[in-house]
Amino acid sequence: MEKGGIALDMRVGLFQQQTLKLAMTQELSQAIALLQYSTQELTSFLESKAEENPLVTIETESFASIDRKTKAKKKTRESDAKYWIEQIGEEKLCLEEYLFSQIHPNYLNNQETLLFHQIVRNIDENGYLRASVQEIARACKQTEEKTQEIIQLIQSLEPAGVGARNLQECLLLQLQRVTTYPRGSLQIVKDCFIPFAEKKWKGISREYRFSMKELQEIFDFVQTLNPRPGDIFAQEKPNYIVPDVIVECTDEQLMVRLIDDHVPKIQFNNEYYNEMKQLKNKKVNQFLQDKYQETQWIMKGIQQRKETILKVMTKIAEKQYECVRKGFSHLKPMTMKEIADELEIHESTVSRTVKAKFVQLPFGTVEMREFFSSSLHTVNSVDVSAKEAKSIIQLMVQGEDKKKPFSDREIEERLEKEFQILLSRRTVAKYREQLNIPSSSKRKRF
């Protein structure tokens, strides 16, 4: 049969074809998952497996002993008068209680008190009211006028600016309580907040008859106000990073070692296995076989995870010798593919290995992913990393004349002339934004 000059084979039948295909086995999937887990995720995974699989036991004695000591120490301190100052310091402030404590007990009736608490519960961690007057009034079955009245009451309390609906209102609430501020501050923030914040001052200067120097003084004063009045009541606990690897420097050598003390140790429950095996029950034996295989996969996967992390970090330290010893100002361009090729593993394996893993170095604890940076073009063909270029841009901006800050084009030209680094203006702008550096127009001072 021919169609449009092309012969088509329409025969139907069974044919054999040999293809090469990688099957994602359960064991491979398990190994991949274990490798990319952070320490916390791995601990949670092992604890859940210990609950599901009776053949998996994890050693938690070290953790339990730490908990007991901590509890005992806390109990001793609570009963010891010498630690009364620490106990005061640990007391957490609650915004709702703090605001309500400023109101006279007989000032609000029952309905107004309910409305007061409803409004405060809609104030976020920064101190801003995130619900509309209509929503709050509807929820409390109150009039919008009464709701607005209680909102204004809350806005009159400490800290100044609390209960504002946006940044402009927050700053205005604070300005209204200040006795001394540059002439026109209240008017400027009230009437032209957005262009003022974006430093579009020429139009403001003409319309309101302020000199650029006066606008700069207002801007500097507004910068001293608190944009997040609820910050002091935040209940967030500090995050502590536990490194997965330590790199120690001795003379001319680097020593890389894995830290797994904080990961529960997994063991095979041989006693339970033998006990159940003696029952000689077909279903029990099948269950034991499945759980035995799963346990072996987990133990093997954890061992492979340890070996891969150690192997990858050792190779990173070897290639980034100066950076490891002296800091990221000495970082060389390096990609994950380079590490993968030298270790003869896949690039995705390196990516999973460094994901959410931290290494303790002589100058601090950093994420393993920080060591990877692409190479930039230079005039003299010397390799320079993107991190190094960002560091130079940051230093350049810090040392600039704020009355005449460098434009992105000027930074581009200086990078080429003084540091032989070739970057486009667009890339300079991208790096500047990543460093949270405003544009030259917003950095300018008058």
What is the structure's pLDDT at 84?
Answer: 45
Residue 337 in domain: yes
What is the structure's pLDDT at 272?
Answer: 85
Is the pLDDT higher at 191 or at 241?
A: 191
> Can you give the residue range of the structural domain that contains 177?
166-228
Say whether pTM exceeds 0.85.
no
Q: Band of the pLDDT at 309, cuts 50, 70, 90?
A: very high
**Range with lowest mean pLDDT among 34-48, 72-86, 319-333, 372-386:** 72-86
Report whether 96 contacts 124 (CB < 8 A): no
What is the structure's pLDDT at 85?
Answer: 44
Q: Are residues 270 and 327 in the same domain?
A: yes
What is the structure's pLDDT at 74?
Answer: 41
Of 15-24, 165-174, 325-334, 362-371, give the range with the top mean pLDDT: 165-174
Q: Band of the pLDDT at 245, cuts 50, 70, 90?
A: very high
Q: How many CB atoms within 10 Å of residue 344?
A: 6
Does 89 have pLDDT greater than 50? no
Amino acid at site 180: T
* Residues in CB range of 6: below 8 A, 6 or more apart: none
Report whether 313 contacts 368 (CB < 8 A): yes
Domain count within the chain: 3
As a residue count, the chain comes to: 446
What is the structure's pLDDT at 220?
Answer: 92
Residue 160 in domain: no
Domain stops at, among 201, 228, 255: 228
What is the structure's pLDDT at 78?
Answer: 43
Alpha-carbon span 399 to 37, nearest angstrom: 42
- Of 153, 128, 156, the closest CA to residue 226 belongs to 128
Is the pLDDT higher at 21 or at 107?
A: 107
Q: Are residues 360 and 388 in the same domain?
A: no
What's the whole-number average pLDDT of the chain?
82
Q: Are residues 365 and 404 in the same domain?
A: no
What is the structure's pLDDT at 221?
Answer: 94
Domain stops at, among 313, 341, 371: 371
Residue 285 in domain: yes
State the maximum Cα–Cα separation within the chain, in Å, rounded to a whole number. 100
What pLDDT, in 10s, does the model give residues 22-40?
Answer: 444 566 677 788 888 888 8
What is the structure's pLDDT at 16?
Answer: 63
Tokens of 108: 């609000």
Is the pLDDT higher at 137 or at 234?
A: 137
Does 321 have pLDDT greater than 50? yes
Q: Band of the pLDDT at 223, cuts 50, 70, 90?
A: very high
- Of 312, 405, 416, 324, the closest CA to residue 361 belongs to 324
What pLDDT, in 10s, does the model give residues 267-283?
Answer: 888 888 888 888 888 88
Report whether 365 contacts 404 (CB < 8 A): no
What is the structure's pLDDT at 262?
Answer: 80
Does 366 have pLDDT greater than 70? yes
Average pLDDT over residues 36-63: 81
Q: Band of the pLDDT at 236, cuts 50, 70, 90?
A: low
Q: Are residues 404 and 418 in the same domain?
A: yes
Q: Are residues 333 and 364 in the same domain?
A: yes
Alpha-carbon span 283 to 14, nearest angstrom: 40
Q: Are residues 381 and 367 in the same domain?
A: no
Does 215 have pLDDT greater than 90? yes
Residue 353 in domain: yes
What is the structure's pLDDT at 62?
Answer: 41
Residue 54 in domain: no
What pLDDT, in 10s, does the model give residues 163-212?
Answer: 999 999 999 999 999 988 999 999 999 999 999 998 899 999 999 999 99
Q: Are residues 401 and 364 in the same domain?
A: no
Q: Are residues 272 and 347 in the same domain?
A: yes
Q: Are residues 273 and 363 in the same domain?
A: yes
**Range with lowest mean pLDDT among 76-80, 351-355, 429-433:** 76-80
Domain stops at, among 371, 396, 413: 371
What is the structure's pLDDT at 72?
Answer: 40
Residue 83 in domain: no
Q: Are residues 279 and 359 in the same domain?
A: yes
Does 126 have pLDDT greater than 50? yes
What is the structure's pLDDT at 92?
Answer: 56
Residue 431 in domain: yes
Q: Which CATH number is 422's domain given?
A: 1.10.10.60
> What DSSP state is assigned to residue 368?
G
**Range with lowest mean pLDDT among 53-62, 288-297, 367-376:** 53-62
Give exposure, 242-263, as e/b (b: 16+ Cβ within 10 Å): ebbbebeeeeeebebebebeeb
Is the pLDDT higher at 186 or at 328?
A: 186
- Of 172, 157, 89, 90, the closest CA to residue 123 belongs to 157
- Of 157, 121, 166, 124, the closest CA to residue 140 belongs to 121
Q: Are residues 351 and 273 in the same domain?
A: yes
Average pLDDT over residues 209-229: 93
Residue 76 in domain: no
Q: Are residues 270 and 345 in the same domain?
A: yes
